[in-house]
Amino acid sequence: MIQRRYGTVVAINETSLELQRLVVRTTEGEEVSAVNYPPLTGESLIGDRVLLNCTAVTLGLGSGGWDFVMAIDGSEQVQTDAPKAPGHLMKLRYTPGQVKVLVWDEETSPVKPTNGVDYGNLAGTPVLIAGIHSLLEPTLRALWSYHPGAQVVYIMTDGACLPLAWSQSVARLKAEGLITATVTSGHAFGGDYEALNSYSALACAREVVTADYIFISMGPGIPGTGTRYGSTALEVGELVNAVITLNGQPITIPRISQADLRSRHYGISHHFLTALQRIAFASAYIPLSYFHGSEREWLGDRVAQSGLDSANYHGILHQLSFHDVTAVAAKLQPYISTFRSMGRSYAEDPLHFAAGFGAAELAYSLRRKRDCLI
């Protein structure tokens, strides 16, 4: 059941068309941090009475200590009088928060495919696939060190948070030009382009933006359990299948940690292993990054123990490679202080973020090979 409370907006610390960060004084007199999404509830102003969803804070979940605005008292007239936006498809369907979007390939879209059903060929485009959002920034910064000015599309799936505006790393990368365009897939919303599934999202990245590279992952806030199949990170295997179906080159970025105290995530995460060993029906690239020979040996031991270097459940053999990322890490020194995952910094768990460095090197290499063949 949703935990709710009422309050009054007393300050607005950040505001945009997509997201507002508010200070709300509750009816009990407590001042709390709250997030409002104008596409869902309309713009909030100081003095508004708001209804808050405080479930995550009540349960102590990792939402950053935020409540979320469910409704703004008196905003009904604003919403009713708003001009009718294009599009007729819904995300968050059949919930109180359902929102209408213009999907890129629907009939009224100005960028809809012009060649009927025969569209979406990725033509060998490298597609970087991650099971955790914290790998986005280190991967793209490394990629730009190899290929400055590259056209990169970020696709956010609906495996974790749904509003794209929640991701501060996407905002940074887009402002700096490292992300050319964004696509929100499934029930995720707020991208430059909307898509109803990962296949359509991948096709959009190629058809509309002509991406040099595509990065696809869920947004922040990965949910999961300690069981084999209890995580949305298993979508990594499904995305490998999608990329191969559309004639792309899938590069899976392993989730690696030497600092996570949970045995299932220490080394190569069990969710990544399940995705590649059980879910993927096609061969994917798996780059493994290291700084020192001892780390390469450590990774090799983890690969051997897990069986990742053997044929998977479906008889598929993935393509593993090892990458010394010392040089690119040195180039990225001005940025690594911003890298964080599960509360840990780059200094605390460098191999986790370095996984993106090797993936970027491999993506650049595959792109060059592809271009030589065209």
pLDDT number for residue 304: 96
Quick: pLDDT tens for 157-207: 999 999 999 999 999 999 999 999 999 999 999 999 999 999 999 999 999
Answer whether residue 373 shows pLDDT above 70: no
**The pLDDT of residue 64:** 54
Model pLDDT for residues 291-307, shown as the tens digit of each residue: 999 999 999 999 999 99
Say whether pLDDT at 82 is over 60. Answer: no
Tens of pLDDT, residue by residue over 98-138, are 999 999 999 999 999 987 677 899 999 999 999 999 999 99
Spatial CA neighbour of 135 closest among 363, 302, 320, 304: 363
What's the CA dihedral at 105, 108, 114, 115 to 10 degrees? 60
Q: What is the pLDDT of residue 302?
A: 95
Interatomic CA distance for residues 159 and 49, integer angstroms: 32
pLDDT at 161 (0 to 100): 94
pLDDT tens-digit readout, 206-217: 999 999 999 999
Question: Nearest-CA neighbor of 35 among 266, 220, 159?
Answer: 220
Q: Tokens standing for 276? A: 């590649």
For residue 81, pLDDT over 50 is answered with no
pLDDT value of residue 56: 81
- Using alpha carbons only, how large is the chain's radius of gyration in Å? 21
Residue 78 has pLDDT above 70, yes or no: no
User: Which residues does 69 contact at the CB level (< 8 Å), separation at least 6?
Assistant: 22, 34, 35, 36, 37, 41, 44, 50, 51, 52, 53
DSSP code, position 84: P
Q: Under DSSP, is residue 78 helix (H, G, I), strand (E, B) or coil?
A: helix
Lowest mean pLDDT among 37-41, 115-119, 355-359: 115-119
User: Which among 220, 227, 186, 174 has a CA at the least distance from the CA of 66?
Assistant: 220
pLDDT of residue 267: 86
For 71-77, the CB contacts below 8 A with 24+ separation are: 71/41, 72/36, 72/41, 72/42, 72/44, 72/48, 73/48, 73/49, 74/48, 74/49, 75/41, 75/42, 75/48
Token couple for 123: 């033509």
- Confidence (pLDDT) at 254: 97
Residue 150 pLDDT greater than 90, yes or no:
yes
pLDDT tens digits for range 307-346: 999 999 999 999 999 999 999 999 999 999 999 998 899 9
Q: What contacts 24+ positions apart, CB below 8 Å, involve 94-102?
A: 96/70, 97/40, 97/70, 99/39, 99/40, 99/189, 101/189, 101/194, 102/194
Give mean pLDDT, residues 135-144. 98
DSSP state letters, 220-249? S---B-SSSS-BGGGHHHHHHHHHHHTT-E
Token pair listed for 335: 């940025």
Tell me: the pLDDT tens digits for 54-64? 988 877 765 55
Cα gap 240→249, rounded to integer Å = 9
The tens digit of pLDDT for each residue in 233-276 reads: 999 999 999 999 999 999 999 999 988 878 777 889 999 999 99
- pTM, two decimals, is 0.93
Q: Which domains does the chain show, CATH number per domain?
A: 4-79 (2.40.50.140), 126-373 (3.40.50)
| DSSP calls for 256-279 | EESS--STTTSEE-HHHHHIIIII
What's the pLDDT at 24?
Answer: 96
77 pLDDT more than 70: no
233-244: pLDDT as tens digits: 999 999 999 999
